[in-house]
Structure 1
């Protein structure tokens, strides 16, 4: 990966399930377009459309922005065929294609009835993207990768990896597995709240669902956590390792831990007590941009 590619992603981006035009009514889509314009003005490097976006969602966000890199985080390979995805990306104009990155993942067995042989399924999907009438090559895609095999595939067949719900320690291990040249862009969830108990309550409201998914719990067990850390929505030890909890300066310090561990880019997911991850926390996005002004 070139330094130009790293510059395209920037050091810090925004990850949000709220960046789904298809899940909004007309007023909601208007609000989203306004928020996207503001995020561009704040100079975040990449906007990650979280929570299994569709190709149509990606196209709409790309069309509503001008210069920022847009990535899916993560499009499920079970929901949309490679041919469908490649055709939709081929419809982008040249400048749009240049700033769009296709983030792909295998999702989770409990969520996908047809889930089987996820690694082989991903390899076949990448082959289909390469063989499409308008190919979507490795330079335009990243993989949701946690374990060694998928990380190796991300280094071999994509720009790199976009791990979700990981610690800084995992980031260091992922950098070793990927090698020095592949992109490493982990997600980091953020709660801007200086009350520790309240911040952890907000974090647990998001984390509880993910602790039901073996891909995540198996990865956390590999990192040295125990089953008891999953009780009650997550132990304090687990929450403090997975989240940035506190004020904006604390978020900056936690983000730096991931960058120091080998991340090229960190995608910040802002959670609020009112909205969880589903709202448009524009005030928080603006506040965070201030502490990252030197890298945005």
Structure 2
């Protein structure tokens, strides 16, 4: 565990039940002035947190630098917790990762969570452990008194074990409720469990499922790697993961339908052991995404 102390129960209380996750590409194509207005709107709707991700250094996908973007989120709001989901370890060395996180945590006490991930290569767990070692070493030299929660983008059992030993919890991306239950069992009761949930307020099955398929390409399946291996552990087969993705798979990772359908799926993660669920509306722009969140807010926060 990092040398800095974090009161995990206090973090739980600050977060509440539901937060928001916005796609990096959505933020890349949204002017910062518009972002500020929509971030303040998300806070006013009662959501407890606001997150985005960061693609790896060699990715063709665009994205804004994580600490700069999340600094905009913090500056545009007053109370909401802001988290990186995730800051990619291929984009900065461990000392820079710690320094960036500690700076935001010092500037906005109690409002910043660092989620990290993106380990690659033949020994991803060894890479991750070494990276955490580097962060902990930096914490003894740079802004050493500044504490912030640190989470891992864990999917499989081994990464959950690292998270339980070395961090304050996990932030799994695009996982069904069954994964949330498994994650809580692996972590035990204390660490934070903050899953991501795709959603689309649309009762037309073809439209909703097509929105997720477009993320991967209309004829593509799920790329090989950690995500595919993890879904196989959950009982999905190549028939689900290849050739456009099966309806069974789509319905497991996407909450779609009317407001009651979305709320039911979101609450299912809480019942399975999540502390806080990050809702990711699929929409053509940031304002449209927040429009969906506004429709859901009265049911989620009652």
In 2, are the aligned partners of 1:139 and 1:158 still within 8 Å (CA)?
no
In 2, are the aligned partners of 1:75 and 1:102 still within 8 Å (CA)?
yes
Matches within 5 A, 1:120-159: 120-132=126-138, 133-135=142-144, 139-159=148-168
Q: Note the alpha carbon deviations across 1:106-148, whole angstroms, 9 max, x for none.
A: 25x5xxxxx3421111111111221212249885211000001
2:114 to 97, 102, 109: 102
Cα distance, 1:225–1:137 mapped onto 2, change above 3 Å: farther
Distance 1:145 1:160 in 2: 9
Please say which of residues 199-208 and 171-180 is displaced more in the overlay: 199-208
Cα distance, 1:262–1:152 mapped onto 2, change above 3 Å: same
- 1:85 CA drift (Å): 2.2
Cα distance, 1:137–1:116 mapped onto 2, change above 3 Å: farther
Gaps of 5+ in 1: 110-114
Q: Note the alpha carbon deviations across 1:174-212, whole angstroms, 9 max, x for none.
A: 111000111111101001101112111112112557711
In 1, are the aligned partners of 2:54 and 2:88 still within 8 Å (CA)?
no
Cα distance, 1:91–1:182 mapped onto 2, change above 3 Å: closer
TM-score, normalised to structure 2, is 0.86
1:50 correspondence with 2:53: yes
Residue correspondences, number: 282
- 1:213 CA drift (Å): 3.9
Aligned to 2:101: 89
- 1:88 CA drift (Å): 2.4
Give the secondary structure class of the aligned counterpart of 1:58. helix
Distance 1:241 1:265 in 2: 19
In 2, are the aligned partners of 1:191 and 1:203 still within 8 Å (CA)?
no
Give the secondary structure class of the aligned counterpart of 1:189. strand
CA RMSD of the aligned region, Å? 2.3
In 2, are the aligned partners of 1:9 and 1:69 still within 8 Å (CA)?
yes
1:266 correspondence with 2:277: yes
Aligned to 2:294: 286
- 1:24 CA drift (Å): 4.7
1:10 correspondence with 2:16: yes
In 1, are the aligned partners of 2:8 and 2:192 still within 8 Å (CA)?
no
Aligned to 1:33: 36
Aligned to 2:237: 226
- 1:267 CA drift (Å): 0.5
1:251 correspondence with 2:262: yes
